[in-house]
Structure 1
Amino acid sequence: MALPRSPRRRAAVLGACATALVAGGLATPSAAAPGASTGSPPDPAPVSPCADPAAVLTVEESRLGLPLPGGGEPASQRFVRAAGFEGLVADFTERLCAAGSAQEAGDLVRASGQELWDTAVARAQGRVESGTIDRYDDRPLYWARTAMSAAVRSLDAGWIENPLQRQGLLHLLDRTSRGISSVSWSDEEPDATRVVISGFDTYSLDSSLRNSNPSGASALQLDGRTVDTPEGPVTVEAVVLPVNYTDFDQGVVEDAFGPVLRTGEERADMIMTISQTGRGRMDVEQWAANARGGSPDNNRNQQFGPVSRPSHWPQPFDSPEWIETTLPYEAMIAAGTGPWPVQLNDGICEWPAGTWPDPAALVCADDPSPGSTAGSGPGGSYLSNESMYRSNRLRTGLQAWDVPGGHLHVSALEYPADESVLTDPAFEADRAAVVDQTVALVTAAGAAVRADRPGSAS
């Protein structure tokens, strides 16, 4: 049985707003995302009264005014309202406009970002009832955060004397609304095995604005929960990572996992990064590669080459080309979860020693060869691979040898045939099945780690 954590701070009970105000509709995007609309022009999104009309939004923020195919209300507003988050976003925008100093704005952003995260977790776990959309839905959190980010980025306030102040506000909002600032362990189960996981935001939004990410939905289901297992209690803390190379370069993965990999009272017993893979499979990745590439990120950036090194966290002197999982994958496979098969996924691409970057020398094999240069891991070279690589490179840098770590790829989803609808019962059942199996796999891994602890009764 899973025991919910008491909220770290008051979970907002979201009242209905007379008019839904999504602050993200602050600017009209210069170009619609491919496939985003095939009908009439979108309804104009509400405009913040304190927005600078010359503000340049990110690509992610510029999607806030786009509708689903068929036109009409922006998809972002539909998701935010469907979860009952419109009051929270509107209140944030109004109070941000009224802030009279950097200190006041900072306090507001910090509190509101944490409130958004806490409310999303409480709603996902059934402790707060709001809106009409399925509680497993991860998309309202993404769109509400993006709307709040756009409000901060476009804020026209006389007290902003330096652009670094705005960047500080954006950083506070990002870390609090992703759960990164609030990873902490409950006093109610001091002997519980401690697990920290990460999921991801939705992505590939140029293909469809209604994309969901079951890894992010799993993070919302697991954050703060203590699960009873035959080996004893397992407590999980969770964060949701962005799908952006720039955020990774600035150390968002290390900021999420670093505090629980240090020696001390906050140390975790296991870490696991989680993301979405192909349909109908659950893969424990055997290797992480020191390589980045793959599709463009949510801001349409694309990167190739080795994984960058953040300046504010310790790293091995030389970044390893390959890092092998230390997750208890045998126990995860043996747990008998369903509906999808679980396997240890091998298979890498590399340049054998001394051949990089000769394109003709690139080869693929089950496992790396000595001295090779990484091309891609079994899970590819996108940000999912990079989340495993960064978190476990940091684990090495902090000498947390006794903390198992690795990556779980979970099944992709099947969406409603009608592209103008947000959801339907079949889609919700499919996502719940993937998320519930993910929760079961995290639980099985935590139980296996607990069973292997020195002095364990099992």
Structure 2
Amino acid sequence: MRTLLRRAVTCGIVAGAVIVTAPLAFAHEQAADCYDRAVPVTVSERRLDLAVPQEVLRRSGFDRFGSRFERLLCVVRSKQQADHVVKQEAAGLWRAAVDRVQGRGPAGGDLPRADDRPLYWARLALTKALRQWLPSFALSDAARTELIGSVETSSRGQDSVAFPAGVKRVLVSGFDPFQLDGDIRRSNPSGATALALDGVMLKTPQGPAVVQTAMFPVLWTPFEAGMVERTFLAALPKLDMFTTVSQGRVGRVDIERYNGRWHTGLDNDNENRATTIPIPAGVPTVTPQPEFVPTTLPYAKIVAASTGRFPVFDNTSVTEIRPGTTTPVVSPTGPTEGSIARAGGGGSYLSNEIAYRTTLLRDALKLTIPGGHVHTPVLQFAPDNTTAVTDPVFEQNRIDIVAQVRSIVEVALS
């Protein structure tokens, strides 16, 4: 049986065709002994074995991606085949997540379709498998890292941003869940928004607009390596608008006026930073690197519009070290001339960082398009729910937040 599976997979790769679904016929067959479960994995990947992630995967049907991926890796016989399998499976995971949220195909379980968490936990199952994989051929550490990077890129939609001709073009980004050591059940409404809007056509007074989206990790290292710039650089000159989106404060939406150069805080792998934001070599940038970069989203129009249930604010506050001083202070009306950034309006975490990187890239390319950052409300469970992975209040909150971000995009385009 295993020989037949190997032949089916290998033939699909050699022919350059889509790999056949033969592995699914062997759903009860255990993966071959091609994994070393003692190999260390990341902090994020270690959380995968906890009860809540397993429940999310099971109740969404996304547990199938990890088991299928492990079976496929065990019959791969070369780096070329591995490249093909990893790219195809990661891209398929992104498409499946978008389709599930947007109502295409079977739900695969009783977890509501709008949930962003199945994609997050299924992706970690793929990267964990690659980290512990014992291939039958020589695989260098650099090659393994490249394969893991391929999963990260393709399962986040970062390499599939493409627009049809004759439409306005909008790029929207979202984030993974974060602060999971505080509550492993957490979802991220910005990620749910990205899945809900990918490929969606909006009507504007100037004609149709197509939204493409991409997701980003709550991790410092990929940002420092240029993940944001690689995703946005090719698309930006062709866009009519972009906005990065993340989860912000309780009960409110913020249009962040200024993005700061400083980053700090624990990421999803519990790594910390407390430095200026580094721009990777080879990326267009502004010299000298500015301490603050402003939004070009039409914030006044957005704040004045009726976009949804949550109040919307033009947030001009920043934290800065003023000239001649050494202590950071909050400036509610924006940066003082000559000051040093310690937080933008969106703080000093990865939400501020993605906004800083994309708006800096906009300015480096000398573009005048609207672009900036939207902070959504915190996605909250019902007050009496301390254990269940979902509840009606939680689901309604997510529906309302996603709908309001869509409305904000439409207002900004009008």
Q: Same fold (TM over 0.5)?
A: yes
Paired with 1:221 and 1:213, the residues of 2 have a C-alpha distance of 13
* Displacement after TM superposition at 1:330 (Å): 2.3
Pair 1:268 & 2:268 matched: no
Match of 2:271 in 1: 301
**1:148-175: CA deviation from partner (whole Å, max 9, x where unpaired):** 1100111111323310000110111110
Paired with 2:121 and 2:174, the residues of 1 have a C-alpha distance of 16
2:197 partner letter = L
Question: Does the residue aligned with 1:437 lie in a helix, a strand or coil?
Answer: helix
Match of 1:80 in 2: 57
* Displacement after TM superposition at 1:60 (Å): 0.2
Decide whether the 8 Å contact of 2:258 with 2:293 is kept in 1.
Answer: yes
Paired with 1:279 and 1:397, the residues of 2 have a C-alpha distance of 34
Pair 1:149 & 2:127 matched: yes
Match of 1:192 in 2: 167
Paired with 1:124 and 1:17, the residues of 2 have a C-alpha distance of 27
Match of 1:63 among 19, 29, 47: 47
Pair 1:105 & 2:71 matched: no
Map 1:294-443; keep pairs closer than 5 Å.
295-355=265-325, 358-359=326-327, 362=329, 364-399=331-366, 401-416=367-382, 417-443=384-410
* Displacement after TM superposition at 1:47 (Å): 8.4
Match of 1:127 in 2: 104
1:56/1:279 CA distance change after superposition, 3 Å: same
Match of 1:31 in 2: none
Paired with 2:306 and 2:314, the residues of 1 have a C-alpha distance of 14
Paired with 2:225 and 2:80, the residues of 1 have a C-alpha distance of 24
Paired with 1:82 and 1:351, the residues of 2 have a C-alpha distance of 49
Decide whether the 8 Å contact of 2:87 with 2:151 is kept in 1.
Answer: yes
* Displacement after TM superposition at 1:365 (Å): 3.9
Question: Does the residue aligned with 2:363 lie in a helix, a strand or coil?
Answer: helix
Paired with 2:297 and 2:121, the residues of 1 have a C-alpha distance of 32
Q: Normalising by structure 1, what TM-score? A: 0.82
1:158/1:312 CA distance change after superposition, 3 Å: farther
Paired with 1:314 and 1:52, the residues of 2 have a C-alpha distance of 42
Match of 2:249 among 262, 278, 285: 278
1:150/1:107 CA distance change after superposition, 3 Å: same
Paired with 1:353 and 1:48, the residues of 2 have a C-alpha distance of 63
Question: How many pairs were matched up?
Answer: 393
Pair 1:53 & 2:37 matched: yes
Pair 1:220 & 2:198 matched: no
Paired with 2:190 and 2:138, the residues of 1 have a C-alpha distance of 37
- Larger proportion of helix: 2
Match of 1:71 in 2: none
1:339/1:362 CA distance change after superposition, 3 Å: closer
Paired with 1:420 and 1:367, the residues of 2 have a C-alpha distance of 41
Decide whether the 8 Å contact of 1:124 with 1:221 is kept in 2.
Answer: yes
* Displacement after TM superposition at 1:15 (Å): 7.9
Decide whether the 8 Å contact of 1:339 with 1:437 is kept in 2.
Answer: yes
Match of 2:225 in 1: 250
Paired with 1:143 and 1:129, the residues of 2 have a C-alpha distance of 19
* Displacement after TM superposition at 1:375 (Å): 1.1
Decide whether the 8 Å contact of 2:175 with 2:216 is kept in 1.
Answer: yes
**1:316-347: CA deviation from partner (whole Å, max 9, x where unpaired):** 12211011110012222233011001121111
Match of 1:239 in 2: 214
Paired with 2:57 and 2:246, the residues of 1 have a C-alpha distance of 23
1:394/1:160 CA distance change after superposition, 3 Å: farther
Question: Does the residue aligned with 2:74 lie in a helix, a strand or coil?
Answer: helix
Decide whether the 8 Å contact of 1:48 with 1:151 is kept in 2.
Answer: no
1:284/1:15 CA distance change after superposition, 3 Å: farther
Paired with 2:66 and 2:378, the residues of 1 have a C-alpha distance of 29
**1:101-154: CA deviation from partner (whole Å, max 9, x where unpaired):** 111011000011100001100111111222221111000000000111100111
**1:167-211: CA deviation from partner (whole Å, max 9, x where unpaired):** 11011111000000100012xxx3221110111000000011110
Question: Does the residue aligned with 1:182 lie in a helix, a strand or coil?
Answer: coil
Decide whether the 8 Å contact of 1:269 with 1:403 is kept in 2.
Answer: yes
Map 1:153-172; keep pairs closer than 5 Å.
153-172=131-150
Decide whether the 8 Å contact of 1:281 with 1:341 is kept in 2.
Answer: yes
Paired with 2:230 and 2:241, the residues of 1 have a C-alpha distance of 16
**1:229-259: CA deviation from partner (whole Å, max 9, x where unpaired):** 3332111000111000111111111122111
Displaced runs of 4 or more, over 4 A: 14-19
**1:374-418: CA deviation from partner (whole Å, max 9, x where unpaired):** 11112111110001000111112222x222210000011221434
Decide whether the 8 Å contact of 2:31 with 2:71 is kept in 1.
Answer: no
Paired with 1:153 and 1:331, the residues of 2 have a C-alpha distance of 48
Question: Does the residue aligned with 1:305 lie in a helix, a strand or coil?
Answer: strand
Paired with 2:139 and 2:394, the residues of 1 have a C-alpha distance of 48
Decide whether the 8 Å contact of 1:198 with 1:240 is kept in 2.
Answer: yes
Q: Which runs of 5+ in 2 are unaligned?
A: 1-17
1:243 partner letter = V
Identity percentage of aligned residues: 38
Paired with 2:32 and 2:186, the residues of 1 have a C-alpha distance of 26
Paired with 1:63 and 1:47, the residues of 2 have a C-alpha distance of 22
Paired with 2:405 and 2:48, the residues of 1 have a C-alpha distance of 30
1:184 partner letter = A
Decide whether the 8 Å contact of 2:24 with 2:68 is kept in 1.
Answer: no
* Displacement after TM superposition at 1:16 (Å): 10
Paired with 2:330 and 2:43, the residues of 1 have a C-alpha distance of 35
